[in-house]
Structure 1
């Protein structure tokens, strides 16, 4: 009698039990920085207000100015750099996870195309400060590098980061809008975002996209370079089997050096030969590496797990939480909701953001005690694999 054929379950997402908690912790902590910057600099006021002359001097009372100064020096692009590093590492993890699948490249391509669709919907319908579209496009460029050896990934990272730093010294001519266009947009934003209905806000949001695209073009080489650097970190084994001494020493050196460079750039200490133009962008990257190494090192200790474990569920649901923040803050600040745009200082807005973040921490923990993935994470995986992914934590039935 012939035995029944064995059904092999097609490769699917990384199982929750196989996830690396320290990476999820880092993603959850980084999301706090992203929330703070998005809220204070882009939901509360126009994204372009920061480019106006002497904008920080008119940022409210001393507490508000202090909040803005701390965020700009310590968080700002560092949080986004961390997310870029983590996205690159995640792409490398997926690439490795699907090593035995002949459709690996096609599945990862589909994963990025689905992300692109999510990003365009988010950009057009919810908030034009979206980063998902840029991540999807950068991921499509990074994907072929993953087919090559480790040295190619490292070389690509250095090349794209070098291009980004070179752009600080020689900005592409005609890339950015004029000061007059920025001032006009800020004036219109102060009126429409604060008082407009959903249709009026949507129309203005779409009209701002041509002004926002140059910002993404300017940052695009950095995003690609950091993706590749994150992929290299994974392939080198630093994140797979963390080397505590290496992580601690890297964290200490990078935080110290990065902070020095950022402060030097802000204070124009390195003005000779235009060096100050490189100090802040280079310091931002170095500081982000220091933050990442320090948090991962801490999360791999018993005490660190106790102190930082709350961030892991939030990090596992970062996609869902990121989109939820856009919906929540849009309702709080735009005219179709509470209409608080331009009416709150940085400190008050940040307090609201912290309350939302704490609520998301609790919700993420509650959700993941019942389900395998966050709602958007589940949808992303289902569309990527073209098969209905299990959602409940109930044990899967064995294949017939």
Structure 2
């Protein structure tokens, strides 16, 4: 076993960069079990807690406001609280919290598999691992179809996580390369889609030019013109569709369930097909970073400082360019005419740099002991991240859906973040109190009990509480 002394406690670390892919972690010959409190890596919980709270920054519009709000903000005046809020959230946080979560999911996969030893006559580590992920897929279905949150990520993490197991002992450099290859694949798919979209615009421009020169349009040119005009029309809010969406989201449980049933199925298919490079890429990079000791506080202070400077120094300007030149486009036609490659091509680079910047900043704060209580609170939130993630779905759907308070589409965009702040405060207090008396969050306990097919001890002993 390898131990590392942190700034608040000594943490047992089952894997770091000094362990080669072929080495076996020395553990007692016991039946595989959940990681105990003394074996947890506090910095991983801390970063996970930060990411879990941050995810709500991106999810809250999906919970509380119709999509037409984005069009109105971007195409309206730019000196409003809504516009500033959208600019800040998109530039600094869009994709980065999910990126951190995906990295930590990959790190957790390595920790889960290599901290356990095969036991003769018992279930294999692979069996426990895949059983764990199959239950996660089921929890994702529960989140989407019972709690009625269309932005669920558990389903995809469970699904894509099944591809990670064969790479659990792969060297960090190969994990980095695989992650970058995933990003390259995603970029290629994006560029191909953009090229097809741009081609439609070019055909339209040719048709308009022919029409202006008083040429008779061919059937192909007429079709191209009609197709682009339909695209332009669909980019603008459809007030009738918006009213229907708002009415259904403010309805009873059965109405909201029916509203989401088809949408969830379509989303799960679309995201699985189009966004697997996004999630898998970050998972592989997270595995590599964990093996190098990044998430377990093993790097030097200067290394974290350098990653912070690079991550923020390059990531923040790219983030602003990504928003101002890409997201905040008001005339899509002129944009397509002017750019062969979309600014969206910066997405993966921006979120990777900012994710590393966020995590490095947390590591430096942790080491400095400037805010030890806040770091402990974040670690508590992260230790029960599964519970807190599902709790966000429960709280927000009850606030915004009609079977709850029915506030859907009643708040302005920036006002949604007042709700975010209130949920953060509640979850930090709840997590702090809960973890004083229990080993796991309630959903973590259920997940572990199902994974090991045995009821896990829940309450801490009186000595542990003290």
Q: How far apart are the structure 1 equivalents of 2:448 and 2:436?
A: 19
Larger Rg: 2
* Matched-pair contact (CA < 8 Å) for 1:59–1:345: no
Describe the superposition over 1:106-151 as per-residue Cα deviations: whole angstroms up to 9, x where unpaired. 1111111110111111111111211100111110112222154444
| 1:110/1:257 CA distance change after superposition, 3 Å | same
Q: How far apart are the structure 1 equivalents of 2:353 and 2:278?
A: 13
**Runs of 5+ in structure 1 lacking a partner?**
1-6
Describe the superposition over 1:137-170 as per-residue Cα deviations: whole angstroms up to 9, x where unpaired. 1101122221544444233212112112223322
Partner of 1:94: 112
- The answer to whether 1:242 aligns with 2:299 is yes
- The answer to whether 1:17 aligns with 2:38 is yes
For residue 435 of structure 2, the aligned residue among 368, 379, 382 is: 368
Alignment TM-score, normalising by the size of structure 2: 0.76
Query: Secondary structure at 1:309's aligned position in 2?
Result: helix
5 Å-filtered alignment, 1:1-400, equals: 9-39=30-60, 41-46=61-66, 48-49=67-68, 53-57=71-75, 62-101=80-119, 103-126=124-147, 127-171=149-193, 180=234, 183=238, 186-194=242-250, 196-213=251-268, 214-240=270-296, 241-268=298-325, 273-274=340-341, 276-394=343-461
| 1:58/1:144 CA distance change after superposition, 3 Å | farther
* Matched-pair contact (CA < 8 Å) for 1:250–1:293: yes
| 1:295/1:280 CA distance change after superposition, 3 Å | same
| 1:245/1:44 CA distance change after superposition, 3 Å | same
| 1:190/1:236 CA distance change after superposition, 3 Å | same
Give the Å deviation of 1:59.
Answer: 9.6
* Matched-pair contact (CA < 8 Å) for 2:315–2:353: yes
Q: How far apart are the structure 2 equivalents of 1:59 and 1:37?
A: 22
Describe the superposition over 1:195-242 as per-residue Cα deviations: whole angstroms up to 9, x where unpaired. x11001001111212442324533221100101111111112223323
* Matched-pair contact (CA < 8 Å) for 1:60–1:345: no
The Cα RMSD (Å) is 2.8
Give the Å deviation of 1:16.
Answer: 1.2
Query: Secondary structure at 1:346's aligned position in 2?
Result: coil
| 1:185/1:287 CA distance change after superposition, 3 Å | farther
**Runs of 5+ in structure 2 lacking a partner?**
1-27, 198-230, 327-334
How many equivalent pairs are there?
384
Q: How far apart are the structure 2 equivalents of 1:312 and 1:118?
A: 23
| 1:186/1:224 CA distance change after superposition, 3 Å | farther
Describe the superposition over 1:27-85 as per-residue Cα deviations: whole angstroms up to 9, x where unpaired. 1111221112211x201113x447x7455345999222222221111112111111111
Further displaced range: 207-216 or 250-259:
207-216
Q: How far apart are the structure 1 equivalents of 2:441 and 2:138?
A: 18
Describe the superposition over 1:89-114 as per-residue Cα deviations: whole angstroms up to 9, x where unpaired. 11111112114557111111111111
Alignment TM-score, normalising by the size of structure 1: 0.87
